[in-house]
Amino acid sequence: MANLIVGIFRKWTGYALVLFGGIQCAANQVSPNIVVILADDLGYSDLGCYGAEIHTPNLDSLAKDGVLFTHFYNAARCCPSRASILTGLYPHQAGVGSMTGREASNEAVPAYQGSLRQDCVTLGEVMKLNGYYTISSGKWHVGEESPEMMPFSRGFERSFFTPGGAGSYYSVGWANGALKPFTLDGVESLPWDGFYDTDAVFDFTIRFLRERPADSPFFAYVTPRAPHWPLHAKPEDIAKYKGVYDCGWDAIRARRYEKQVELGLVSKHWKPAPRSDGDGVVPAWETLSPDRQREMAAKMEVYAAQVDCLDQNVGKLVAFLKEEKQFRNTLILFLSDNGACAEPANKPFGQDWKNGNGGPVGSASSFESYGRCWAEVSNTPFRFWKWKAHEGGISTPLIASWPQGISAKGSVCRQPGHLVDVMATCLDLCDGTYPQTYKGNEIQPMEGISFSPVFQGGQREDPEVLAWEHFANRGILCGKWKLVSQTDDNWTHAKPGPWELYNLDDDRTESSDLAKQMPEKVAELVSRYDEWAKRVGVVGNTADWRQQ
């Protein structure tokens, strides 16, 4: 009951701030439309407005006229982040503390069952209950074993999706030819001539919105796979970046950091994390052979082209909303599910799943990743990458655009936030209700806090703590203090490593571990982490929950 009262108080106080904070709506104005765009494996610095040399004019424009967030967090990996943003809960509470698929989950352990639980509700279900027309287009990845796990069974009235994770951008194929079909409104659908994944996801988003009921606001959950591997991009987009990366990762990372400092996104007092965290796995660019330099520059050209195409499609969606006279009253939230991807981490130059038997990188017959070398650039200035709880794994860009509802245009929010806050914010802005029961199941209270006061230049309520666990990578953030630990890359039998302590106000790049100097603070935060872990269902060692 206490959680329910707190949730109601947060919702109504947050709504009052929006209502009386400067938004001028007519008495008969409908609730805002809401579009959530979740990119896949996009690094913190991969947009122009976050420091990149990649051309992202459409997203940069949304940030210029909206709010840009510097301290927003995800859940470190595809599946957990999707579970969290969809439900307003931590991934374990939603049933996806690990991944989907039988080899990376355990149906007998609710926190790691590998699909959304029945005691949670999705944004599709909640927004539909509150009068919204709900659509989903793109990567689902929160349950793929049965129809009951799919978006059309979890509140989305229209859907175009692939249930799993990675796959070709040009077809439904995996590297070995195994099919990963799309599903259109519950019916399996094969790609057509000229198919390209990012285009298709946005094309179906626009189609579903064009066919919407005239009398309902809409909620769209848009989840392109870009720029997740494989490195697949159109030749005309790749051509834009020819030669841009010939200078190498060290030079590009330095330029991005300088731009971030210039933009005020990072402090000049934060030292950029050293290349490859100082372990020597990623070599200096000038030590590479000319052939290796050409190979790796080409990979980053394709990656940049994938991001470029993603931005083009955001622009296409914005143009449609303007054409429909819906743009001004549509809140667009753009963010990423985790930090940039270094998979496989033991191969700094990336993986070629076709073992040299595919075509040129970027083509439909290739199937490659760009590796740890470039992932560290994408996550500038932070340490590590996707699946770690260090800042490089969990920090996401977040852009909020809502011309009619944001008066603090062009502002930067430096308060911490998390994916769990998206549900609370959506309900706050539409004066919505969150169910205590749904389809006969008692529903867990949502965890998040609305960040809508930021839209009027106000302060949002700070979370008491934020915490993470994924394959024994752990972390907790309490004010300026962050406790974090990493495991090795053997995810099947991962065990937690030693704790590290950082003052993020002074050192967000996590370069000066204070754990040995401040054992009392470590003990305090360990206690807080243990309380959180017990509450959400964390099991410390991966082997323990995998064997149950």
Q: Which of 71, 92, 141, 390 is catalytic?
A: 141
Give the Cα separation of 178 and 20 in Å (integer). Answer: 55
Give the Cα separation of 105 and 99 in Å (integer). Answer: 6
Contact predicate 469/538, CB 8 Å = yes
| DSSP H or E run through 210 | helix 197-210
Please report where in the chains the tokens 């805002």 appear, as a residue: 32
Strands (E) in 250-353, as ranges, are: 330-336
Contact predicate 77/341, CB 8 Å = no
- Would residue 232 show up in a list of annotated catalytic residues for this protein? no
Please report where in the chains the tokens 């709506």 appear, as a residue: 25
Q: Cβ–Cβ contacts within 10 Å for residue 316, how many?
A: 15
Give the Cα separation of 333 and 401 in Å (integer). Answer: 7
Q: Give the list of residues 6+ apart from residue 129 with CB closer than 8 angstroms, or none.
A: 432, 433, 435
Give the Cα separation of 336 and 504 in Å (integer). Answer: 21
Selection from 81, 104, 93, 119 nearest residue 545 by Cα: 104
Strands (E) in 395-499, as ranges, are: 395-401, 411-413, 417-418, 437-438, 441-442, 466-470, 473-478, 481-485
Selection from 222, 219, 119 nearest residue 427 by Cα: 219
| DSSP summary character for residue 443 | P
DSSP helix/strand/coil, 471 = coil
Phi, psi dihedral angles at 310 (to 5 degrees): -60, -45
Strands 218-223 and 330-336: unpaired
- Would residue 309 show up in a list of annotated catalytic residues for this protein? no
Contact predicate 338/81, CB 8 Å = yes
Q: Which of 49, 55, 71, 78 is catalytic?
A: 78
What does the CA dihedral 176, 179, 182, 187 come to, rounded to 10 degrees? 180
Strand partners, 502: 482
Q: How many CA atoms lie within 13 A of 64 on its CB side?
A: 9
The radius of gyration computed from the CA coordinates of the chain, to the nearest angstrom, equals: 22
Give the Cα separation of 59 and 505 in Å (integer). Answer: 27
* Cα distances (angstroms) measured from residue 448 to each of 11, 116, 424, 466, 473: 10, 18, 6, 10, 22
End-to-end CA distance of the chain: 33
Contact predicate 431/15, CB 8 Å = yes
Please identify every residue annotated as catalytic: 78, 141
